[in-house]
Structure 1
Amino acid sequence: MNFVEELTWRGMLHTIMPGTEEMLNKGMASGYIGFDPTADSLHVGHLTQIMTLIHFQRAGHKPYALVGGATGMVGDPSGKSQERNLLSEDVLQHNLESVQKQLTKFLDFNSGANSAEMVNNYDWFKNFTFLDFIRDVGKHITVNYMMAKDSVKKRLEGDTGMSFTEFTYQLVQGYDFYYLWKNHNCTIQMGGSDQWGNIVTGTEFIRRKDAGEAFALTTQLIKKADGTKFGKTESGAVWLDPERTSPYQFYQFWLNTTDVDAKAYIRIFTLFDREVIEALEVEHDAAPHTRALQKALAKDITIRVHGEGEYEKAIKSSEFLFGNVGIEFLNELNEAEVLALFSGVPNFTVSLAEIEAGINVSDLLAVKTSVFPSKGEAKKMIAGGGAAINKVKIATADDIYTADTLINGKFLVVQKGKKNYFLIVAE
């Protein structure tokens, strides 16, 4: 497997430094990508870089995942319009441990010579004094060189400017590359296209300080076909941590991609080979309504991030909402999973004591909640057989509901028609 060719046919490659492919073709090389722990979870925006490291390892090379315990304290100005908040050491340490744990799901850390390794740049920066840094690093890169970078120019031209802290970020990242080149024989740094300036600062620093040679490669920044940002939904970023984004929501994110985006994403985010992907495209084009690409994409990435069990649960959750899975399925879910499943539908809270005492269904749906705008509307819909609680049609507008009808002792699932769901939470 040729690493550069693999990235190219998958539509991932953006920029490559001359000589990089020739260097990689000589045999096993070591290379790295950095991940700044600005949160306690990676999100789907990081998956392109994770996939890059996976392909790098599958091509026989040795991947290093650098978690930025030091750079996370500084903040990368690339692609940012304003300076981000600096994190405390306690928060940073928590984030580091969480990110490290997630990365172990994707890379093989026990594959012999090309086993993946994880490094933390705090380990080599923690005893680096400021005077040592400006003497040993700062003197090799001119201010003119640093100010020519797009990430710096854009910020200096903007309203917010740039602090000295962020201005020095490219020197810190450049030294990371030098350290890994010097101590771990890392000859290539990879990253998103917005990182090109920082990466080549590293190659330039290696050349100027030790007359060494190093290489660079960047991947495309992923956007949706309509030009909007990939990985964002109405509720925010799509995270890899199931506590932040439930496996069901994660699965739905991929399942709901457009046909155009699915054709790009299945190349970037799965390990399917070319023949399999092209066969799926033929199947999809013959019957787009079956969503063969989206289903294959959502299944593959959900299983790799969350496991087979969570994928099966996500399928059942979809079938519960849109198919024939019965209400008993909700008993298999914990409270957080139920809330996640119904996060996109109107939620209402009612008094548990009132339900325990017995509550008239018309009052429940039109007074205590606003499932219906009025009791008259509720009675009309119930009489027409168009309202259900817990997937059982409401018999009459005078029915009484008690605690015995609560799912998991807490929830009532209301349907107005077949597709309009509401969740009532008893507290």
Structure 2
Amino acid sequence: MTYHPKSDFMRVMIERGFLADCTDYQGLDEAAAKGGMPGYIGFDATAKSLHVGSLIQIMMLRWLQKTGGQPITLMGGGTTKVGDPSFRADERPLLTPAQIDDNISGIQKVFAKYLDYDGVENPALMLNNAEWLDGLNYLDFLRDIGRHFSVNRMLSFESVKSRLDREQSLSFLEFNYMILQAYDFLELNRRYGCVLQMGGSDQWGNIVNGIDLTRRVLDHEIYGLTSPLLTTSDGKKMGKSADGAVWLNADMRSPYEFWQFWRNTTDADVGRFLKLYTEMNLEECERLGALAGSEINEAKIVLANEVTALCHGAEAAAAAEATAREVFEKGGVGDDLPTLVLEPGELPVSIVQVIVRVGLAKSGKEAKRLIAENGAKIDDAPLSDAGLMLDAAALSSPIKLSAGKKRHALVQLG
């Protein structure tokens, strides 16, 4: 990238590693340099929380606001009824309007941590595309909007092509998704003067569609910017861990477990993740990322603290670090570990069932394999008996269960 930006926004996008592609670097840079530029990212409401895979997009919106632009968080109340087929092997399960509304209320909680909706000159906007999609008249929409789309061109997009090449069915409902997302950009430009759509690089085709449509219908110049689709250096998709998705809402993934996810970052990813997921200056990110040996572990703690403080608050980050040090350095149990409370009526209970219920394994089979491979501990001692039953005597005080060196949980009587 040899382009030298004029705007703070584009400089941050390039220097910190947010930029995969852009429809017009110079045009977008000039629009950002004027100040107050509205830009949006859409979030479909397929679950009650976003996970770490969406955090790069949330940070892009945060930087847009910090550099003087106006971030728009667009909830997909309308588009979630259809489901984005991009790079999926199968059709998404359809959700009811009540499920979608419930999911949106859960997702909205996280944005208030990263964006300011009312206390600044450039307040963020929280919108829902159901506002304009729910009331569409189908025949009018086909005539006014559908005529601008070439099916030949839509079939050429990689997200659609990859599905068809595998001879997997793509329903007409899903095929409409890219038209609806393009229409979102048109409506946001018409209603709010929005000139930028951002998203992961898998959204490139959808973003370009929206730019083309808005130029054709309104003759307005608008822009698209995509971020790289992140995988960890060992090839895993960002946002997933051994025990499932790393959710951003505290009621779905505790701040301690969230902190642990970042603390367990592989050495090669530390510098890159500090640039993307924290606001530390670039020199410090590079210095920490270049550490080697045991010193890199302190850099990982800095990463975990900074990311957790943004998502859950500084107190939660400090508590998670204190618990981790208690558990790993002193062999204690800490106050903040995931905890399973058993009622006396549930006893006796098998250790395999407890390992699953506390979240250290996804199934009984996995729990048994963990024990067989010497990966499980009970109160820091090897657990070798998969047939062990826990009774009231065993639980007279809380017990600590561990899976490997880094995942721990408590079990106690209620």
TM-score range with shorter-chain normalisation?
0.7 to 0.9
Identity of aligned residues (%): 37
Query: Partners of 1:152 and 1:211 in 2: how far apart?
Result: 27
Query: Partners of 1:183 and 1:215 in 2: how far apart?
Result: 16
- Residue 304 of structure 2, aligned match among 298, 301, 318: 298
What is the identity, as a one-letter code, of the residue corresponding to 1:229? K
- Report the secondary structure of 1:112's partner residue: coil
Q: Which residue of 1 aligns with 2:19?
A: 13
Instruction: Using the TM superposition, give the Cα deviation of residue 172 of structure 1 relative to its aligned residue in structure 2, in angstroms.
Output: 0.1
**Does the 8 Å contact 1:349/1:424 carry over to 2?**
no
Which deviations, in whole Å up to 9, do the C-alpha atoms of 1:349-400 show, x marking residues without a partner? 9977779xxxxxxxxxxxxxx9xx9xxxxxxxxxxxxx99699xxxxxxxxx
Give yes or no for the alignment of 1:77 onto 2:85.
yes
Question: Which structure 2 residue ranges, 5 or more long, are not aligned?
Answer: 1-6, 350-367, 372-376, 382-390
- Report the secondary structure of 2:139's partner residue: helix
Q: Which residue of 2 aligns with 1:67?
A: 75
Instruction: Using the TM superposition, give the Cα deviation of residue 153 of structure 1 relative to its aligned residue in structure 2, in angstroms.
Output: 1.3
What is the identity, as a one-letter code, of the residue corresponding to 2:221? E
Query: Partners of 1:16 and 1:388 in 2: how far apart?
Result: 52
How does 1:24-423 map onto structure 2 within 5 Å?
24-281=32-289, 284-285=291-292, 288-324=294-330, 326=332, 329-330=334-335, 337-339=338-340, 406-407=396-397, 411-413=398-400
Matched positions, count: 371
- Report the secondary structure of 1:49's partner residue: helix
**Does the 8 Å contact 1:69/1:92 carry over to 2?**
yes
Instruction: Using the TM superposition, give the Cα deviation of residue 114 of structure 1 relative to its aligned residue in structure 2, in angstroms.
Output: 1.2
Q: Which residue of 2 aligns with 1:361?
A: none
Q: Which residue of 2 aligns with 1:376?
A: none
TM-score with structure 1 setting the length: 0.79
- Report the secondary structure of 2:85's partner residue: coil
Query: Partners of 1:388 and 1:87 in 2: how far apart?
Result: 41
**Does the 8 Å contact 1:350/1:425 carry over to 2?**
no
Given the superposition, is the C-alpha separation of residues 79 and 313 from structure 1 closer, same or farther in structure 2, using an over 3 Å criterion?
same
Query: Partners of 2:252 and 2:413 in 1: how far apart?
Result: 23
- Report the secondary structure of 1:97's partner residue: helix
**Does the 8 Å contact 1:65/1:118 carry over to 2?**
yes
Instruction: Using the TM superposition, give the Cα deviation of residue 238 of structure 1 relative to its aligned residue in structure 2, in angstroms.
Output: 0.5
Query: Partners of 2:83 and 2:288 in 1: how far apart?
Result: 41
Which deviations, in whole Å up to 9, do the C-alpha atoms of 1:107-160 show, x marking residues without a partner? 011243311011000011121121222122101212122222111111122232
Question: Which structure 1 residue ranges, 5 or more long, are not aligned?
Answer: 341-347, 356-369, 374-386, 392-400
Query: Partners of 1:353 and 1:153 in 2: how far apart?
Result: 54
What is the identity, as a one-letter code, of the residue corresponding to 2:98? D
Query: Partners of 1:419 and 1:127 in 2: how far apart?
Result: 51
Instruction: Using the TM superposition, give the Cα deviation of residue 243 of structure 1 relative to its aligned residue in structure 2, in angstroms.
Output: 2.3
**Does the 8 Å contact 2:395/2:412 carry over to 1?**
no
TM-score with structure 2 setting the length: 0.81
Given the superposition, is the C-alpha separation of residues 90 and 319 from structure 1 closer, same or farther in structure 2, using an over 3 Å criterion?
same
**Does the 8 Å contact 2:43/2:74 carry over to 1?**
yes
What is the identity, as a one-letter code, of the residue corresponding to 1:149? F
Given the superposition, is the C-alpha separation of residues 245 and 207 from structure 1 closer, same or farther in structure 2, using an over 3 Å criterion?
same
Q: Which residue of 1 aligns with 2:387?
A: none
Which deviations, in whole Å up to 9, do the C-alpha atoms of 1:10-33 show, x marking residues without a partner? 112000112222222233211101
**Does the 8 Å contact 1:62/1:113 carry over to 2?**
no
**Does the 8 Å contact 1:316/1:325 carry over to 2?**
no
- Across the aligned residues of Structure 1 and Structure 2, the Cα RMSD in angstroms comes to 3.1
Query: Partners of 1:420 and 1:220 in 2: how far apart?
Result: 29
What is the identity, as a one-letter code, of the residue corresponding to 2:396? L
**Does the 8 Å contact 1:57/1:63 carry over to 2?**
yes
What is the identity, as a one-letter code, of the residue corresponding to 1:292? E
**Does the 8 Å contact 1:75/1:83 carry over to 2?**
yes
Query: Partners of 1:254 and 1:420 in 2: how far apart?
Result: 13
Which deviations, in whole Å up to 9, do the C-alpha atoms of 1:186-234 show, x marking residues without a partner? 0111111110100010000011112221111111111111222112112
What is the identity, as a one-letter code, of the residue corresponding to 1:13? L
Q: Which residue of 2 aligns with 1:360?
A: none
What is the identity, as a one-letter code, of the residue corresponding to 2:22? I
- Report the secondary structure of 1:64's partner residue: strand
